[in-house]
Structure 1
Amino acid sequence: MSEDHTRVQEFFGVRAADWDRKFPGDGPAFAAAVAAIGLRPGDRVLDAGCGTGRALPELRAAVGPSGTVLGADLTPEMLAEAAQAGRRAAGALLLADATRLPLRDGCLDAVFAAGLIAHLPDPQVSLRELARVVRSGGRLALFHPIGRAALAARQGRELTDDDMRAEHNLRPLLSASGWEPTSYADEEHRFLALAVRRP
């Protein structure tokens, strides 16, 4: 495992037990973001970097009992919290790295990723891997329950032009990774970038 992966596991591992309690009001933002993907009954969707699985019940509701919901995360403690919260009932939990998913090419209709992109050591490699497992015309949602400026303020840092999630940086990154960006919203109470898998 790389040093970057170890850092991510250490960061989230010690925070897993308190994660849901720390952000109790995020539910409506997650629900709205899942709704924006346009999932249909029977769809197959991955929550990449699912953490404690907060999106899994919403994803399950969107795809129905005939759909497939997977939650993948690099941190065992986060997946343990997801299971303890009963979210395994909404989707299968996988201990997996977003740069090497144990999934077939084109097997998914969509990927939902909350807060993932900021923690990727090589975003382009990971976005390409997400594109690999999504069928042509499938969808990607990059989400955060607060916008970039609010997140920077929460973390006590300045918002800079080199922020990877800034539209002028993210659009070319998505385009170079097999995705066609379709919408971008960076507001106080949400960040949501949507893209479609190119043929």
Structure 2
Amino acid sequence: MPHDHTHVREFFGERAARWDARFPDDGPAYAAAVAELGPRPGDAVLDAGCGTGRALPPLRDAVGREGTVLGADLTPEMLTEAVRAGRHRAGRLLLADVARLPVRSGALDAVFAAGLIAHLPHPRENLRELARVVRPGGRLALFHPVGRAALAARQGRRITEDDLRAEHRLGPLLAGSGWRMEAYTDEDTRFLALAVRAD
């Protein structure tokens, strides 16, 4: 899997134009995960590693016109596709590294992150940066539209014990990064870990 920035950019840059076409049925899963994250009207929310912006419309629906929706991604081609799909109308797109967000500390109520954790170069520090921009009591959703086993099968590999998203690895990782894991789901149709920003 790509890890350093150049590789991440190249990997997703090459795939951006075909991304939505490859995964056309993921919309409802994104909407359901946003609902579980539970942003409220007027909240400020970030889609970290937003890609083509599939979470932005449900996030906007949740926070309403008074709310703030940001989508940050490292890959210009992904943001271009988000604009092409009209999703820039649901939130402000930032060409930004989630490891160094151009966002004030404690400014956000919630962060949504789909498929992000596998691509973080320094997971503990990177999750700590997500914690920095969220107020105490704010929430984090780590989401993927398929579960770990289904994703591994799609990529022609097996799940290993050292997978960061395994419950016994992810709980302590989040705890060491300013989060408290509240819920964990890993089934074929989705992966969703919910965490709360510790004080």
Q: How does 1:1-199 map to 2 (within 5 A)?
A: 4-199=4-199
- Distance in 2 (CA, whole Å) between partners of 1:44 and 1:52 is 20
Q: State the Cα distance separating 1:82 from its structure 2 match.
A: 0.3
- Distance in 1 (CA, whole Å) between partners of 2:81 and 2:26 is 17
RMSD: 0.7
Runs of at least 5 residues in structure 2 that lack an aligned partner in the other structure: none
- Distance in 1 (CA, whole Å) between partners of 2:167 and 2:62 is 28
- Distance in 2 (CA, whole Å) between partners of 1:32 and 1:85 is 20
Once superposed, which parts of structure 1, at least 4 consecutive aligned residues long, lie more than 4 Å away?
none
| C-alpha distance after superposition, 1:143-177 (max 9, x if no partner) | 00000000000000011110000000000000000
Runs of at least 5 residues in structure 1 that lack an aligned partner in the other structure: none
- Distance in 2 (CA, whole Å) between partners of 1:121 and 1:134 is 21
TM normalised by structure 2 equals: 0.98
Query: Percent identical across equivalent pairs?
Result: 74
Q: State the Cα distance separating 1:38 from its structure 2 match.
A: 1.1
Letter in 2 for 1:149: A
Count of residue pairs the alignment pairs up: 197
* Counterpart secondary structure, 2:28: helix
| C-alpha distance after superposition, 1:75-108 (max 9, x if no partner) | 0000000011100100000000011000100000
TM normalised by structure 1 equals: 0.98
Letter in 1 for 2:73: D
- Distance in 1 (CA, whole Å) between partners of 2:159 and 2:139 is 28
